[in-house]
Amino acid sequence: MSNYESHSYELVADCRLRAATDLFAHTWDPVALAALRTGPRRRRELRSAIGGISDKVLTETLHRLLANGLVNRRAYAEAPPRVEYSLTDLGESLVDGPMRALGRWTLEHGDELFEAQEAWHGRYRLADELNGDLHPNRA
């Protein structure tokens, strides 16, 4: 972070982009946000709506979303406990801005993505391609 060469400034300074992409860095964070797009949900509802997340990780995920100001938390003094999570204004702007754009992209280009992944699938390793491509005088 302390080394600024001529070129590096362009993207290191664009850390604002990283601040945004980091919001998608953890597996379940975007899914949890998407699960909240229809309105407030209790913790238990979220768990089943997401499907496949562990209890501990759900806590961590919600903690991050709270820390990033993307969701609100309301606890009611009832028994059994009742806690509702909902999107903040900031969270909503993220969901129906960039995340909706991601959704559209997946609808339009998802097949291409899957085809590309399938086409690669183990058949080429970088080393192999290198030895045939960069050093063709071998063999």
R_g of the chain, CA atoms, integer Å: 21
In angstroms, the CA 139 to CA 105 distance is 43
| CB of 36 closer than 8 Å to CB of 72 | no
By CB under 7 A, is residue 135 in contact with DNA?
yes
In angstroms, the CA 64 to CA 23 distance is 9
**Stretch 74-113 residues interacting with DNA (CB under 7 A):** 79-83
> Please, what's the b/e burial string for 30-53 (b: 16 or more CB within 10 A of its CB; e: otherwise)?
bbbbbbbeeeebebeebbeebeeb
Interface characters, 75-94, with its own copies (x: CB under 8 A): x-x---x-x------x--xx
- Residue 104 binding result from its own copies, DNA, none, given CB thresholds of 5 to 8 Å by partner type: its own copies
Q: Which two tokens stand for residue 110?
A: 């998802």
Beta carbon nearer to DNA, 84 or 92: 84
Beta carbon nearer to its own copies, 8 or 40: 8
By CB under 8 A, is residue 66 in contact with its own copies?
yes
Residues forming the site for DNA (CB under 7 A)? 25-28, 42-44, 52-57, 59-60, 62, 73, 79-83, 126-127, 130, 134-135, 137-138
